[in-house]
Structure 1
Amino acid sequence: MAKYRKKPVEIEAVKFEDTAHSITDISNLAGGRTIVYSYQSEYPTLTIQTLEGEVIAQVGEYIIRGIEGELYPCNPDIFEKTYEKVSDN
């Protein structure tokens, strides 16, 4: 059986926090795509359109822009195991 290693890929991401700075960064990351920030539940949520449809992100999750420009949320535990910071652009 062959073994494979995941190729290194650089992505852009913003941690979703309940701050104006985080929301501004996510809006910039979205690049004109519609995102909906909501306080309708106990905690703020962010609804984003992914390749698989609408997904609701929770505070603390990372919003990632993939290689093709698609957006999707990622659990912080998985994000921190998968990615390492390479710059603060």
Structure 2
Amino acid sequence: MARYHKKPIEITAHQWFRNGDHPKDGGADREGAVVRYFRRPEPEYAGDTAHDICGLIWHNHGWIDTLKGGHTVCPGDWIITGVQGEVYPCKPDIFDATYEAVTD
């Protein structure tokens, strides 16, 4: 079996904790252009119901449209802008294992 590794590329990333944290989103008092409000009408997302992955209530989450469909953004996730301008969320542990800060 052939083996491969990722080419070294530079990405832009911003850690997201609440609405307005991404620089392209504007203020926290309005819907973001990159990370939008999390909206789901189903009762399992209402009130104080917690997300089973991060343990925080659904109201504190965001939503991001990616090239592969929509994804939930948990507080603390990194929002990565890829090489073709695409955006997607990344969990902090995966981000730490995959990326390191660029020093000039």
TM-score range, shorter chain: 0.7 to 0.9
* TM-score calculated relative to the size of structure 1: 0.72
The structure carrying a bigger helix percent of its residues is 1
Q: How far is the alpha carbon of 1:19 from its aligned partner? A: 7.2
Report how far residue 24 of structure 1 moved.
4.5
Match for 1:25 among 12, 23, 35? 23
Say if 2:63 is the partner of 1:47.
yes
Equivalent residue in structure 2 for 1:65, among 66, 81, 94:
81
Percent identity at matched positions?
39
Unaligned runs of 5+ in 2: 27-31, 40-45, 48-56
**Which runs of 4 or more aligned residues in structure 1 lie more than 4 Å from their structure 2 counterparts after TM superposition?**
38-41
- The answer (yes or no) to whether the contact 1:16–1:26 under 8 Å persists in 2 is no
- What root-mean-square deviation, in Å, do the aligned CA atoms of Structure 1 and Structure 2 show? 2.8
Structure (1 or 2) with the greater strand fraction? 1
- List runs of 5+ in structure 1 lacking aligned partners: none
Q: Does 1:82 align with 2:98?
A: yes
Matched residue count: 82
The TM-score, its normalising length taken from structure 2, stands at 0.63
| Distance in structure 2 (CA, Å) of the matches to 1:34 and 1:63 | 9
